[in-house]
Amino acid sequence: MPAIRIVLCRPSHPGNIGAAARAMKTMGLADLRLVAPTRAPLPKDEWMATHGADVLAAARTHATLVEALADCAAAFALTARPREWSPQVLDVRAAAQNAAAFAEPVAFVFGSEDAGLTNEELFACQTLVHIPADPANSSLNLAQAVQVVCYELRMAQGAVVPAMRAEKAATVADREGLYAHLEEAARASGFMAPGSKLRERWRRLFSRVPDLEREEVNILRGLLKSLLKK
């Protein structure tokens, strides 16, 4: 995966810079660039950044977008509005996959909160990126748009849901102990009638849980033990 740069052009709303830094941090990105920001980040921005304060502190400021993109192999411009004369248009997922193919740094460029990207800024990029949304309300908050893009970039890297902590699997002996305990409780309570097929049925029930854990068996047996005492 190439180095990914997030570029905010003329950001102005309090906290959006910090919230964008936080969005980047959660998805493993760190290169934040600000183009002609209305003001420098304030303490409120750091609060919005939460654990992304280091991303915010390392952000570099540029006078122009061209300067911010100088060493990038490709630039992707985010916009909610169609443009008559524009570079090719991709949805955000396709753009993230396209970006993953580069070896050199690539940038995703976001416009100001009130006006988005200018035509000049748009044409400094090679690809237009659209986040499909409800046509009746398609404009996302700046930091929200950054979060969506960063998420798709992470997924394009092949991110997966972390595996759950492995527990000890129930053995055949564990299962047989549970079955015996079930039978003891069923007989003691009068629930198991003579000739009942309960044995077969609970074996069939638990056979549908191939990954049954020893701790789960112990919980069930602890419950049965408690009920038998009563």
Could you report the per-residue pLDDT of 185-198, keeping only the tens digit for each? 999 998 988 888 99
Which of 143-161 are b and which e, b meaning 16 or more Cβ less than 10 Å from the residue's Cβ?
Answer: bebbbbbbbbbbebeeeee
β-pair type (4-9, 31-35): parallel
Q: Are residues 151 and 186 in the same domain?
A: no
Mean pLDDT score across all residues of the chain:
88
User: How many domains, in total, are found in the chain?
Assistant: 2
**Where among 156, 191, 215 does a domain terminate?**
156
Q: Domain range holding 210?
A: 172-229
**pLDDT band (50, 70, 90) for residue 208:** very high
- CATH number for 143: 3.40.1280.10
Q: How far is CA 88 from CA 71, 73, 74, 105, 119, in A?
A: 21, 16, 13, 20, 14
Q: Are residues 119 and 202 in the same domain?
A: no
**How much is the pLDDT for 76?**
96
Could you report the per-residue pLDDT of 8-57, keeping only the tens digit for each? 999 987 688 989 999 999 999 999 999 999 876 666 566 566 777 889 88
What are the residues whose beta carbons fall under 8 Å from the beta carbon of 39, sequence distance 6 or more? 12
Share of the chain above pLDDT 90, in %: 63
Tell whether pTM > 0.85: no
Query: Which residue in 114, 112, 111 sits closest to 122, CA to CA?
Result: 111
Between residues 121 and 52, which one has the greater pLDDT?
121
Q: In what order do the strands lie in the sheet with 60-62?
A: 60-62, 31-35, 4-9, 106-110, 74-78, 127-130, 88-91
**How much is the pLDDT for 49?**
65
- CATH number for 185: 1.10.8.590
Q: Are residues 150 and 178 in the same domain?
A: no
Picking from 27-41, 124-138, 159-173, which range would have the lowest pLDDT averaged per residue?
159-173
Q: Is the pLDDT of residue 87 over 90?
A: no
Picking from 47-51, 100-104, 200-204, which range would have the lowest pLDDT averaged per residue?
47-51
CA distance 62 to 124: 15
